[in-house]
């Protein structure tokens, strides 16, 4: 492909989109953080910890919260089994950056540069990575070209081709073939993803199926708010608890109407509502108040009685742990055509899960759960009745949650398979030296 034409087209798109970006910066505060890093300025905190001849760098790119969570266990295992390597993580979104800094240390985290040669080269020169790992499907042409030219190896982990992106990839496979040849290893989630990768130009010998890293996630360490809420709910005799996570625009109205129906039979019920995007917190709070439902924002809640009310989770990084409080969990992005969000977090807590019928982004996970009767899939019209039925039948609700937890346990192991495959891309000398057992034997 012509990298000059690609870079020119990207510059034009960015220029035409400038009014939108400025609006997002001014109105919602998005994209302002890390602007210099995105434009190629390597942050001092990264340079202060820079790689040396004795400590090689592995650069992992995880776009947002979902990808950061997916690679968390992998990064932990890299640090344990490859102590002479330093793992640094880049993200694109602010929420992903905040979570990555919390999990991996701010000194190891930075914003992903825009895909121009002049913004990528400073990072390659500063970090001199031995291996670059991309989570899921981040096929940035200039990045791949420059990393390959630097001599570093490239791997895509947890690789997937979603139903939504599949038609576009096929349409442009003539250009993708040249881009994908720079990638040394594709570690796909499923056999279907393997087939799709090969059909758009990935060399079949470089594609392996290692499973989905998200099945190996350890449950999030509960923040203090979880225990505070647990005590408050028990003291008040509040329940049942409905946790609605990662909701998007146009989902809250039907969810709140369903909650009103639930309150008829369960007047002390509480909904914990977690919008997916922070810039919508105020909008959702106003919506709840318009429906004359008492609403507390998590950031201002000081122990007030929650029976019959909505607790709006206007925080980042707490939802996964709060699923543990749920009698029923609804996972958003699925009542409207947004492709859905990951159901693994509530499943880890053995919670009964309900989703809408738009789950294309997680088709394989949802299909697996559905095959084991471990999830309920509903339309907007079916939502209120399904929630009321589950809350009225303790035995079925608990069995649904148990089946979800069992499904998770049956799918673990992707992290170890992925790490072993990545080690094959590292120089034999560094892998051997990083193995404490081998090092001890040779001393």
DSSP 356-425: ES--GGGHHHHHHHHHTT--EEE-TTTHHHHHHHHHH-HHHHHHHHHHHHHHHHTT--HHHHHHHHHHTT
CA distance 313 to 333: 16
C-beta neighbour count of 377 within 10 angstroms: 18
Pairing outcome for strands 328-331 and 241-247:
parallel
CA distance 423 to 214: 20
Residue in this structure with the two tokens 């790689």, named with its chain if needed: 51
Q: Is 273 helix (H, G, I), strand (E, B) or coil?
A: strand
Which whole-number Å values give the CA distances from 90 to 15, 181, 212, 247, 372, in the listed order? 24, 23, 20, 25, 36
Q: Is 27 helix (H, G, I), strand (E, B) or coil?
A: helix
Contact between 195 and 406 under an 8 Å Cβ cutoff? The reply is no
* 396 counts as catalytic: no
Closest to 136 measured CA to CA, from 246, 60, 79, 217:
60
CA distance 263 to 280: 25
In degrees rounded to 5, what are phi and psi of residue 159? -65, 135
Q: Which of 67, 136, 251, 345 is catalytic?
A: 67
Active site residues: 67
């Amino acid at each position: 492909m012509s990298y000059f034409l690609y870079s020119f087209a990207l510059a034009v798109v960015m220029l035409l989109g400038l009014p939108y970006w400025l609006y997002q910066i001014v109105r919602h505060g998005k994209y302002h953080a890390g602007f210099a890093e995105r434009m190629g300025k390597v942050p001092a905190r990264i340079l202060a910890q820079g790689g040396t001849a004795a400590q090689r760098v592995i650069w992992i790119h995880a776009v947002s919260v979902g990808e950061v969570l997916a690679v968390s266990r992998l990064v932990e295992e890299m640090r344990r089994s490859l102590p002479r390597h330093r793992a640094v993580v880049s993200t694109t979104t602010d929420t992903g950056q905040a979570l990555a800094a919390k999990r991996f240390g701010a000194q190891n985290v930075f914003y992903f540069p825009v895909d121009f040669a002049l913004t990528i080269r400073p990072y390659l020169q500063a970090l001199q990575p031995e291996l670059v790992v991309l989570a899921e499907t981040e096929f940035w042409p200039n990045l791949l070209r420059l990393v390959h030219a630097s001599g570093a190896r490239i791997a895509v982990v947890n690789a997937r081709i979603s139903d939504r992106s599949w038609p576009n990839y096929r349409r442009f496979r003539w250009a993708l073939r040249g881009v994908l040849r720079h990638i040394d290893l594709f570690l796909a989630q499923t056999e279907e993803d393997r087939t799709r990768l090969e059909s758009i130009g990935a060399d079949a010998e470089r594609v392996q199926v290692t499973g989905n890293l998200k099945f190996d996630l350890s449950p999030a360490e509960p923040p203090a708010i979880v225990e505070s809420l647990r005590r408050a709910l028990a003291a008040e005799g509040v329940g049942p608890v409905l946790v609605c996570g990662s909701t998007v625009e146009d989902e809250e109205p039907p969810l709140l109407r369903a909650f009103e129906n639930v309150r008829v039979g369960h007047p002390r019920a509480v909904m914990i509502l977690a919008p997916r995007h922070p810039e919508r917190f105020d909008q959702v709070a106003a919506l709840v108040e318009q429906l004359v439902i008492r609403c507390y924002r998590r950031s201002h809640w000081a122990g007030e009685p929650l029976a019959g009310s909505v607790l709006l989770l206007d925080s980042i990084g707490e939802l996964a742990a709060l699923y543990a409080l749920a009698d029923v969990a609804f996972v958003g992005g699925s009542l409207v055509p947004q492709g859905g969000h990951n159901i693994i977090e509530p499943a880890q807590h053995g919670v009964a899960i309900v989703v809408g019928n738009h789950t294309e982004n997680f088709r394989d996970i949802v299909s697996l759960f559905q095959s084991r009767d471990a999830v309920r899939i509903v339309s907007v019209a079916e939502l209120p009745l399904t929630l009321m039925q589950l809350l009225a039948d303790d035995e079925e609700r608990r069995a649904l949650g148990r089946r979800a937890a069992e499904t998770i346990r049956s799918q673990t192991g992707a992290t170890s398979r992925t790490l072993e495959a990545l080690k094959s891309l590292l120089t034999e000398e560094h892998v051997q030296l990083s193995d404490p057992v081998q090092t001890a034997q040779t001393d």
